[in-house]
Amino acid sequence: MDLMQKLDLNAPNQPKNEVDEIMNMVQNQRLLHQETAESVTPNTSSKTAMNKKTKTLFITFVLVAVAAGVLTGFGANKLRKQKYVSDTTAVVATDATKIKNGDVFGVNDTSTFAQTAEGYLQKGGVDGEGSHTLLREGGSSQTVALTSSVVDLDQFVGMNIKIWGETNSAQKSGWFMDVGRVEVVNTQGESPAQSLE
């Protein structure tokens, strides 16, 4: 066998040099990459239009959400106020002579005015504390000094009543209450026997 072959440059099936093949591959890859990049690059004018649409849609959504939140809060507040007003509506006697046993005056909300006491109502507080006094069985230690911004206690003086109230800190009396509700037990009340201690 002949180790040397004659190289004919005009022959079509001539083996090529490896360096030439690598150079052709690199050039083909560059062309392919350039074509791919051009086909993937978006049109900047449609991208800008898309951004404007997206921004407008986002701003509209935010404004609608804020408006819905404000309206929801406003409506909830109105409902809560309406419920509170109906729970705390005071029933006021117009004429003290028309008051009967079992009549209830003041607010319906017994959760705010949770403490109760029953006794005979007289005008005047305990050493200047309170506007009225509720006398109860057991002596002066059981006496309750009363005040009320909800119910006019003057119309119940001389009656046995049950009160619902909120305890306040007392300075001179054993118990000091702000009255929110009154139930008439007996319009012809009797003062309990009080021991002078």
117-137 residue pLDDT tens: 899 988 888 877 888 988 888
CB 118 within 8 A of CB 175: no
What pLDDT is attached to residue 1?
45
Q: Across residues 132-157, what is the average pLDDT?
A: 84
- Write the Ramachandran bin of 143: left for phi over 0, alpha for psi from -120 to 50, otherwise beta: beta
What's the CATH number of domain 102-186, 3.40.1350, 2.40.50, 2.60.40, 1.25.40?
Answer: 2.40.50
What pLDDT is attached to residue 86? Answer: 46
Mean pLDDT, residues 166-171: 79
Average confidence score pLDDT of the chain: 76
Residue 146 has pLDDT above 70, yes or no: yes
Distance CA 80, CA 88 (A): 12
Read off the pLDDT of residues 87-112 as tens digits, 9 standing for 90 and up.
Answer: 444 455 556 667 888 888 888 877 77
Task: Name the most confidently modeled range: 10-24, 73-87, 175-189.
Answer: 175-189
State percent of the chain over pLDDT 70. Answer: 70
Map out the domains of the chain as residue ranges.
102-186
Residues 4-34 pLDDT 10s = 555 555 655 555 566 677 777 777 777 776 7
- Residue 129 is given by DSSP the state B
How far apart are the C-alpha atoms of 56 and 63, rounded to whole Å?
11
Measuring CA to CA, which residue among 141, 116, 152 is closest to residue 196? 141
- CA distance between the termini of the chain: 145
- Higher local confidence (pLDDT), 60 or 108: 60
Please state whether the predicted TM-score (pTM) of the whole model is above 0.85. Answer: no
Q: What is the pLDDT of residue 144?
A: 87
Question: Which distant-in-sequence residues (6+ apart) come within 8 Å of 41 by Cβ?
Answer: none
| DSSP code for 144 | E
Give the whole-angstrom CA distance, residue 123 versus residue 158. 9
pLDDT band with cut points at 50, 70 and 90 for residue 196: very low
Note the pLDDT of residue 112.
Answer: 78
Cβ distance 168 to 92 under 8 Å?
no
Q: What is the DSSP pairing of strand 160-168 with strand 144-147?
A: unpaired
The pLDDT value recorded for residue 64 is 95
Concatenating the DSSP letter of every residue in 22-75 gives: HHHHHHHHHHHHHHHHHHHSPPHHHHHHHHHHHHHHHHHHHHHHHHHHHHHHHH
